[in-house]
Structure 1
Amino acid sequence: MIATLPSRDPLAILPPEIVLQILDFAPISALASLTSVSRAWHQFIDVTHQEAIYSSETKTTQPSRGAGDLSAVPDPLSFCKLFENTTSWKDLCKRQTLLAHNWAKQRPVTRESVLQVGNDPVWRFRADFKRRFFISTSHAGGLNVTDMDTGHILWRLPSTLVREEDAVRPYAHLEYQDGMAVFDREGDAVEVWQAGLEDTARGEFRRIAILNHDCQTRGFQLSYWTLCVVSNEGQGFVYDMAERPPRLTTHITIEHGAVGHLDQSEHVVIYSLGVHGYHIHDKKSGELLGVLHPSRASEKYHIRPPATPSLSASAALAGTARHGLTRQYLPFEAPRTNCLTPIELANGPLPLPSEPDHVYHREDEWGAGMLHGDLFVGFSRAGRVLVCSNWRKALQDQASFAKNSALLECESDGSGFDLGGWLSVRNHRVMFEIQDQIYVIALDDHDKIQNVDQPTRASYSLLTSSAPQLAMPVSFMALYDDAIMTTYTTLGRRQPLGNVPGRAPLPQHENLGRIFPTKAIRIVTLAPDLSKGRCFIASETDTPEESTRTTSNQSGPLVEEIWHSQAGLLQLVSMLGDEFGGEDDDDDHEVGVFAANFHDDDIDNEWEDVDQNDTA
């Protein structure tokens, strides 16, 4: 029996439709409290009107396409299948709320996994959550499609270094959308490949087009079923990728000197012009809509590098072993809270350094830029980040630009900017790399810099390598609904590759099991544990050294193998030389540690010979 309601209870004095409108503005936490007030409120919210209340756009970040039709919710970008088998709109809200709560914490609970793809360092990669595979290119050439859940290679194309036909060049840039892959080839052309065609296996692609250009291409980007290509010779190309073959729809004249970074929305494409800022063009007409000049931003903030504890030699060695020396796939480690290091933003510009080589705003070179709805973010050589919460309004005049833009300054010597930096923007967060660390900066609900004194979402950093001596610039990173994914410099162990077309099988002695430095795919997931109705539990007092321990059911046996392998141990000690009292006489040590990682074709200095055409 429903309890008698007090006369001032809204349920007793207001029509149901008015109560529903009020609840539309109530947060999830308020709904949970109301359901425990009385049986009547529980009945109203969780029984009678559950579908209408929890399917509201104010309650779920997954837009509904029809009342109660959960099947119409777009597929989330979830590595852990967090939203699989969702039973109701309330269930969806619960999962999203737990996930958002973990993201917002100062020290989120995370689990980590590292995937080594073959025996070559990963260059670019993309995640396909619908088909559950990664597609990636390599420093040494070739393309791999890897099962997201097992780490097994499903299909591959060889490198041009060992085979010319149907092969992929070293350091090939890769773009991907829903089964379509685009990568560049020698001669200013790009290839278009498609998965899921008739008579093809899972993960198998077939080439459907080659798009040739009569000018030097610097970069390309695929989204909205549109491929945008940019040349440093003042030309841009827009292709309709929904047609077969893809059709050139617009040839855009742009300012000369494009550095290769570009991004697009449904209607515009934005090009980076280095010191000349970001130029925005209409994709259909080619018209220049305006220019964003980051140096004109007046609102400024800064970040000091996080105080990262230095690991002892033994802890660094164990950590490197845990992350790098894996079988083909490293399962998730136990939950912990010290993977992400909290960082704080401060008001005002970064204090000027005493060094004479300080890069001033007007001299700063801008590289990577990314659009996400109204938000635009750009990244510079000097470690500045432009956060433009509404780029359309910012184009109107200087006052509008100042109102909608802010600069975030970080300490950087520009050493990681040779390829123009890298960015990711998603769910009110911006991710970029500074000095061998990745920063994840949280914005407010309007995509502006948060109140630095009372932030509602935490910002944090994570390292780009398993040991400082192995650190190399990130060549791809992305934010997803429940995970952070990046390229990750670590140690790997040579794997048997099976029968790969155009390449002789590796000898079964010495090469297999040999330890070598490589770049893998690192996956840090913040997904909550739904079985407990809350996030994973991890010790808030874990120290960095304690976090490198392994357990018998994780990667402990592998660590034991390393410690009992004299050759492997000597190689690890050599790579971690300074911490063990040795001296590093190699002036180009970061290149040196990668020297053993390429094919047995005696490829020299491949790390240094990055094709300058690839700055996308």
Structure 2
Amino acid sequence: MFSTLPAELILDILGWLPIDTVRNLNLVSKHVRDFIDVNEDIIYRTAAFQLGYIPSKDFAFENLAHLYSPRIMRYVSTCKELCKELRYVSAAWKGRAPSAIRVFEPFQQDDVHRIKVDEDAGIIINSFNMGGICVSDLETGSMLWALSANYVSGYPHVEYENGFMIFNLRGKRKEVWKLVGSHPRLPRPKSSPVDSKQATISRLMGEHYCDTYPRGHFQAWSAIEVPELTHAFRFVYPTLLTAERRHLYLYDVRTGTLERNIVITEPEIHEPPHLTYVDISPHYIFVCGWPSIRIVSRQTGKVLMDIASDKAHYSPNVFAMDRHTETTQGSALCIHRPYIREPALQTQITHVYDQFLATHVSPCGHHLAILSVSSRLLIVPFFERLWEDNPLPDINSISLEIELGSRARSSRYLAFDSSRVAVATDTGIFIVHLDLSKGAERILNVCRVQELDRPHALGEMSCLQMSQTALWLTWQYPYPEPIGQSRTNFGELLAERVSYHVFNPTIPIGTINIRPFGGFDDLVQITRKQVCRVDFARPLPGPMQREPTPEEFDDGDF
């Protein structure tokens, strides 16, 4: 083939082959190896495009910094190295390559409440139980900038994206701060302007941390006074959503203006949810709580879908965790192969007393991840089908449901990043890998951070985040074992029986109580809680410890 076909045709063929096949072709003959060496950039650029690593074959290499974090690009100077690095990180996320649990040690405070990571800027933002916000260097841990507890009250929730940080103060106020150097041409907002106190604090903190300026520094941008006390807020650039049960307020953080005030007054299937979480996409608002999740149109304010939290099942095939696992040398994860289990509830039981803890929409805006308090994860791929298709499908017909550990144990946190979902429950910390391509929606595998199998510690978590190369969480690692307690056997937790209480046993359609041992609203009692990460980047310095073998990629990577 290499001697008879035109070079352009050979290159086109090689571009469609798996990377492992191209690598093996190097061993066929010196002639083939020379051909591949001469055309290496073209071959691997095509491969990177086919794998979705770059948006087009002619994508400028210097623009890769806009797609991938410096923690990935520090090894990359060619398309071949890009494929190699992303292959390694993808394998590590799936438990197929080495990864490590690392402590973010430099924090002087050990009561971390919230985590926000910006790998592009190389910073990590943390808020604390006792108040205050700290910005640190992602690699060295050195403090770059901070706001004291005298200014930011205790347990502040922090949102961050694209250079804007938002946090709540007492009452109805949400403050917006902008990362120095980001959005340099954006004019100062005329609506919701900075007040004198906020401006003074901004100036004083800039002076106090002048040695690190401008890296990691924020400047006061605006002060938004919401018309009423709200119970949840979420920021997806450029929109800040702050919500209570019937009112949804949408602000543009660039200008500080109230874009839309949605008042939900129409008749509904359920009462307005007691809020536990909200999320937002370009077209929809997601209001999560008990007794349902509402999907609201941003354009019309109409409730498009109301998903009740009282269903015994949301899919005809409910996946459960197998106690048997696979491990890869050097990985912090173990791998579960989910299996379809027999129904845990009697057939006449159709309604359960459960509630939704959190929901996240995927970055592409097409898929929904929902987490119930009873450790059930529901994935709704292409959720718009629920009101757009003809005939309208039932949610059971398009959803994927998986029980992450024991239903008798509470969920704690949810994160959704493209094709993977991270979940923390009182049973463990899980990473669910999905194939969400149209018509082929499926669960690929489930990984568990087995070193963190400590239920008494998992219940004290307050935050879980994903970046391109790491899973971040609040934790004290290594965790000191309380007297008389040790790591719980995961298999024993899977075998736990849920204590069901039938509210109305006299009728065929019953309602049962599956309230877990601990609720999502239990107070966090931990005394020491720092930042810990499960690191999937290739270690620095030195070469990667082990390159994954082709046989390990058996779930659709190549």
Partner of 2:259: 249
CA change 1:338–1:534 in 2 (3 A) is: closer
**1:36 Cα shift?**
3.1
Q: What is the SS of the residue equivalent to 2:86?
A: helix
Q: What is the alpha-carbon distance in structure 2 between the residues aligned to residue 179 and residue 149 of structure 1?
A: 19
Does residue 141 (structure 1) correspond to residue 131 (structure 2)? The answer is yes
CA contact (8 A) 1:194 1:207 kept: yes
**1:378 Cα shift?**
0.4
Does residue 180 (structure 1) correspond to residue 164 (structure 2)? The answer is yes
**1:77 Cα shift?**
5.9
User: Which structure 1 segments of 5+ residues have no match?
Assistant: 1-8, 309-334, 354-358, 494-515, 539-616
Map 1:349-364 onto structure 2 (within 5 A): 351-352=344-345, 361-364=351-354
The structure 1 residue matched to 2:180, chosen from 184, 196, 199, is: 196
Q: What is the SS of the residue equivalent to 1:175?
A: strand
CA contact (8 A) 1:528 1:534 kept: yes
Does residue 263 (structure 1) correspond to residue 279 (structure 2)? The answer is yes
Does residue 460 (structure 1) correspond to residue 470 (structure 2)? The answer is no
Matched residue type, 1:527: A
**1:95 Cα shift?**
1.1
Partner of 2:223: 210
The structure 2 residue matched to 1:99, chosen from 70, 86, 89, is: 89
Partner of 2:399: 405
CA change 1:34–1:393 in 2 (3 A) is: farther
**1:126 Cα shift?**
0.5
CA change 1:289–1:27 in 2 (3 A) is: farther
Does residue 228 (structure 1) correspond to residue 228 (structure 2)? The answer is no
Q: What is the alpha-carbon distance in structure 2 between the residues aligned to residue 535 and residue 394 of structure 1?
A: 46
Higher deviation after alignment, 293-302 or 144-153: 293-302
Q: What is the alpha-carbon distance in structure 2 between the residues aligned to residue 361 and residue 337 of structure 1?
A: 44
CA contact (8 A) 1:302 1:348 kept: yes
CA change 1:528–1:361 in 2 (3 A) is: farther
**1:22 Cα shift?**
3.4
Q: What is the alpha-carbon distance in structure 1 between the residues aligned to residue 240 and residue 441 of structure 2?
A: 31
CA change 1:105–1:178 in 2 (3 A) is: same
Partner of 2:301: 286
Q: Identity, % of aligned pairs?
A: 21
Partner of 2:152: 168
Matched residue type, 1:146: S
CA change 1:414–1:213 in 2 (3 A) is: farther
Q: What is the alpha-carbon distance in structure 1 between the residues aligned to residue 166 and residue 329 of structure 2?
A: 37
CA contact (8 A) 1:301 1:345 kept: no
Q: What is the alpha-carbon distance in structure 2 between the residues aligned to residue 155 and residue 82 of structure 1?
A: 25
Partner of 2:380: 388
The structure 2 residue matched to 1:522, chosen from 532, 536, 552, is: 532
Listed one character per residue, the Cα deviations across residues 108-157 of structure 1 (whole Å, up to 9, x for unaligned) are: 42222112532241111101212222111111111111222222222221
Listed one character per residue, the Cα deviations across residues 148-202 of structure 1 (whole Å, up to 9, x for unaligned) are: 222222222122xxx3xxx111111110013211011111221111121699522
Q: What is the alpha-carbon distance in structure 1 between the residues aligned to residue 43 and residue 547 of structure 2?
A: 33
The structure 1 residue matched to 2:62, chosen from 38, 51, 71, is: 71
**1:431 Cα shift?**
1.1
CA contact (8 A) 1:20 1:53 kept: no
Q: What is the alpha-carbon distance in structure 2 between the residues aligned to residue 270 and residue 349 of structure 1?
A: 31
Matched residue type, 2:298: K
**1:27 Cα shift?**
1.5
CA contact (8 A) 1:54 1:60 kept: no
The structure 2 residue matched to 1:337, chosen from 306, 323, 330, is: 330
Listed one character per residue, the Cα deviations across residues 285-304 of structure 1 (whole Å, up to 9, x for unaligned) are: 43444344574733333334
Matched residue type, 2:314: A
Q: What is the SS of the residue equivalent to 1:486?
A: strand
Matched residue type, 2:459: M
TM-score of the pair, normalised by structure 1: 0.66
Q: What is the SS of the residue equivalent to 1:217?
A: coil
Q: What is the alpha-carbon distance in structure 1 between the residues aligned to residue 103 and residue 131 of structure 2?
A: 21
Q: What is the SS of the residue equivalent to 1:261?
A: strand
User: Aligned pair count?
Assistant: 457
Partner of 1:112: 101
CA contact (8 A) 1:123 1:139 kept: yes
Matched residue type, 1:218: H
Q: What is the alpha-carbon distance in structure 2 between the residues aligned to residue 280 and residue 468 of structure 1?
A: 33
CA change 1:269–1:93 in 2 (3 A) is: same
Partner of 2:249: 237
**1:412 Cα shift?**
4.3
Q: What is the alpha-carbon distance in structure 2 between the residues aligned to residue 135 and residue 147 of structure 1?
A: 9
Map 1:575-594 onto structure 2 (within 5 A): none
Q: What is the alpha-carbon distance in structure 2 between the residues aligned to residue 534 and residue 144 of structure 1?
A: 32
Listed one character per residue, the Cα deviations across residues 334-383 of structure 1 (whole Å, up to 9, x for unaligned) are: x9736323333120356349xxxxx9655321121111122211000111
Matched residue type, 1:250: R
Higher deviation after alignment, 482-491 or 181-190: 482-491
Q: What is the alpha-carbon distance in structure 2 between the residues aligned to residue 52 and residue 282 of structure 1?
A: 45
TM-score of the pair, normalised by structure 2: 0.72
Q: What is the alpha-carbon distance in structure 1 between the residues aligned to residue 333 and residue 464 of structure 2?
A: 15
CA contact (8 A) 2:374 2:410 kept: no
Q: What is the alpha-carbon distance in structure 1 between the residues aligned to residue 441 and residue 351 of structure 2?
A: 20
Map 1:589-604 onto structure 2 (within 5 A): none
Map 1:467-616 onto structure 2 (within 5 A): 470-489=457-476, 517-528=527-538, 534-536=544-546
CA contact (8 A) 1:271 1:280 kept: yes
Partner of 1:54: 45
Does residue 301 (structure 1) correspond to residue 318 (structure 2)? The answer is yes
Q: What is the alpha-carbon distance in structure 1 between the residues aligned to residue 324 and residue 3 of structure 2?
A: 56
CA change 1:411–1:89 in 2 (3 A) is: closer
CA contact (8 A) 2:320 2:340 kept: no
CA contact (8 A) 1:375 1:388 kept: yes
Q: What is the SS of the residue equivalent to 2:435?
A: coil
Q: What is the alpha-carbon distance in structure 1 between the residues aligned to residue 133 and residue 93 of structure 2?
A: 33
Q: What is the alpha-carbon distance in structure 2 between the residues aligned to residue 112 and residue 411 of structure 1?
A: 21
Partner of 2:200: none
Matched residue type, 2:258: L
CA contact (8 A) 1:464 1:487 kept: no
CA change 1:252–1:65 in 2 (3 A) is: farther
CA contact (8 A) 2:428 2:458 kept: no
Q: What is the alpha-carbon distance in structure 2 between the residues aligned to residue 305 and residue 458 of structure 1?
A: 10
Q: What is the SS of the residue equivalent to 1:443?
A: strand
Judging by fraction of residues, say which structure has more strand: 2
Partner of 2:143: 153
Does residue 36 (structure 1) correspond to residue 51 (structure 2)? The answer is no
Matched residue type, 1:237: Y
Q: What is the alpha-carbon distance in structure 2 between the residues aligned to residue 44 and residue 68 of structure 1?
A: 23
Q: What is the alpha-carbon distance in structure 2 between the residues aligned to residue 147 and residue 103 of structure 1?
A: 23
Q: CA RMSD in A?
A: 3.6
Matched residue type, 1:154: L
**1:63 Cα shift?**
2.6
Partner of 1:430: 421
User: Which structure 2 segments of 5+ residues have no match?
Assistant: 185-202, 207-212, 266-271, 481-525, 549-558
Q: What is the SS of the residue equivalent to 1:71?
A: helix
Q: What is the alpha-carbon distance in structure 2 between the residues aligned to residue 99 and residue 125 of structure 1?
A: 22
Matched residue type, 2:301: G
Listed one character per residue, the Cα deviations across residues 202-226 of structure 1 (whole Å, up to 9, x for unaligned) are: 2222222111122231211112322
CA contact (8 A) 1:236 1:253 kept: yes
